[in-house]
Amino acid sequence: MPGRSHIKQARVKNNRFGSMNWTRVSPRRALILSGIGALLGLVVAGFGLFTSKGTRTFVVPPEDVAIVNNVPILTSDYDALLMATYNVSPAGASPEQRKTIIDAMINEELYVQRGIELGMQTDVIEVRQALVSAVEAQQTADIIAAPFNDEELKAFYQNHSNMYATEGKIQGRDYVAPDVAQAQLFLAQLNSTGNESAASKAAAMRQTGLFSDGPEFYFAAKLHMEPALFSVAQTLKPGMASRPVELSDGVHVLVMVMNDPPHLMPFDTVKDKVLRDMREKKSQIVRASSGAFLRRRADIIVTRGLE
C-alpha cells in the first residue's frame, strides 16, 4: 500500500533522539509538549507581572521621541518646540540642540507626573482651570471636527432665522419746537408746500443735530434717541414725517431720510456664522449631557442647606 511505504520512508532511525518516530501520532508526546508550552507561558507572564516595571515598551514608536513611565512624548511636539526654540528643522538641529529640547521635555513630563502624584490637580487653581478648559475642548472636539453639508446648515439657518438678521439702519432729520402748536404748524407747512426748509423757518423749528454724521445702526439710534422717539421713528418710511412727540426738551418732529429695518440675510452671506452657531449649539448640548453624565456616575454629598 502506498501509505505504508510512505511512512516507512519517513521513519527516523538511529538518530540522536533514538527511535522516535515523528510521523506517528503520540498522545504522550503531545501532552508533554503542551505542558512545556504552558509552563513557558506561565514563566513569561509571571516575569512580566511581578517585575517592578510591569509591562514595558522596549522600542520607541516612530510617532514618539521618548517614553517616560509609559507616557509618550510626541515627535510632533518635539519638532514644534525645536523649531520654536532654535528656528531649525529637526534635520538641521545640532546634537546639542536636540538634547536640550528632549531633556526639557522629559523634565516637563516628569514634573507633570510628579504633580499628579502630589495631587496638584486638586490644589492649584491654574491647573484646575486648565484641566476644565481642556476637558471641555475634548468634549466638543468631535463636533467641531465632524464634516457638515449645506442641507444641515440650511436647516439650522431656517430654524434660527432670528439670529441672521441685519442690524437696521436709520437716518432722519430731527426738529424740535417749544410747544405742540408750532410743531403742528411745521407739519401743516410741510404737507402743503413740501418744502422742509421753508416749513421749518416758518414754524421756527430747530434741528437737534441727530444723525448729523449720517445713518446710524438701530442699536446706536436707540442710545441717541429717547425711547418714545425711536419707537415712532421705526415706523416711518423715507420721506415721511412723524407726529409731534413730546419729550423733556421740547416737541420733536422727525423727518425720515432712510429707514432700513432689520431683515434676514441670504444664507450664502451668513454661511460662516451659521456653521459656527450650529457647532456651538451642538457643543452646548454635548457639554450639558457630559455634565449630567459625570454627575450621574459621581458620588456627590452636599452639606445640609446647600442641596
Partner 1 sequence: MPYRKLALGGACVAILVLVFSMMLANSMYHTAVMNQDPQWLLTQSVWSGHVRDDGGSLFRTHCASCHGNDSRGNAAIGAANLTDSDYLYGNGDVLETEQIVLHGIRSGNLRGWNLASMPAYGTEKPYSLYAVEPLSPGEIDKLASYLQDLGRLGGASGQEPDQSMSATLIEGSKLYASKGCWDCHGADARGDTAIGAPNLRDHIWLYGDGSRQSIAHSLTFGRHGQMPAFEKTLSPVQARTVAIYAWSLSHKAGAREK
Q: Which residues bind partner 1 (CB under 8 A)?
A: 3, 6, 61-64, 74-76, 79-80, 83, 89-91, 130, 133-134, 136-138, 140-142, 144-145, 147-149, 167, 169, 213-217, 219-220, 268-273, 275-276, 279
Nearest-approach distance from CB 160 to partner 1, in angstroms: 15
Amino acid symbol at 73? I
Instruction: For partner 1, give the closer residue by CB, 14 or 149.
Output: 149
Instruction: For partner 1, give the closer residue by CB, 114 or 273.
Output: 273
Number of neighbours of residue 113 by Cβ within 10 angstroms: 13
Nearest-approach distance from CB 62 to partner 1, in angstroms: 4
Residue 118 contacts residue 124 (beta carbons within 8 Å): no
**Length in residues, the chain:** 307
Orientation angle between helical segments 267-297 and 125-145, nearest 10 degrees: 130
Which among 173, 187, 200 has a CA at the least distance from the CA of 258? 173
Residue 251 contacts residue 178 (beta carbons within 8 Å): yes
Nearest-approach distance from CB 216 to partner 1, in angstroms: 6
Nearest-approach distance from CB 129 to partner 1, in angstroms: 10
Secondary structure of residue 208 in the 3-state scheme: coil
Instruction: For partner 1, give the closer residue by CB, 163 or 292.
Output: 163
Helix (H), strand (E) at residue 91: none
Instruction: For partner 1, give the closer residue by CB, 66 or 202.
Output: 66
Give the residue carrying C-alpha cell 442690524: 167
259, burial (CB in 10 Å: exposed 0-12, middle 13-18, buried 19+): buried
Secondary structure of residue 68 in the 3-state scheme: strand
Nearest-approach distance from CB 136 to partner 1, in angstroms: 7
Amino acid symbol at 26? S
CA distances from 10 to 4, 16, 290 (A): 10, 16, 68
Instruction: For partner 1, give the closer residue by CB, 147 or 305.
Output: 147
Instruction: For partner 1, give the closer residue by CB, 157 or 186.
Output: 157
The residue ranges of DSSP E strands in 178-286, in sequence order, are 206-207, 216-217, 245-247, 250-260
Nearest-approach distance from CB 38 to partner 1, in angstroms: 23
Instruction: For partner 1, give the closer residue by CB, 171 or 182.
Output: 171
Instruction: For partner 1, give the closer residue by CB, 36 or 80.
Output: 80
Cα–Cα distance between 123 and 109 in angstroms, integer? 19
Nearest-approach distance from CB 204 to partner 1, in angstroms: 30
Nearest-approach distance from CB 240 to partner 1, in angstroms: 20
| Residue 303: φ, ψ to 5° | -65, 155
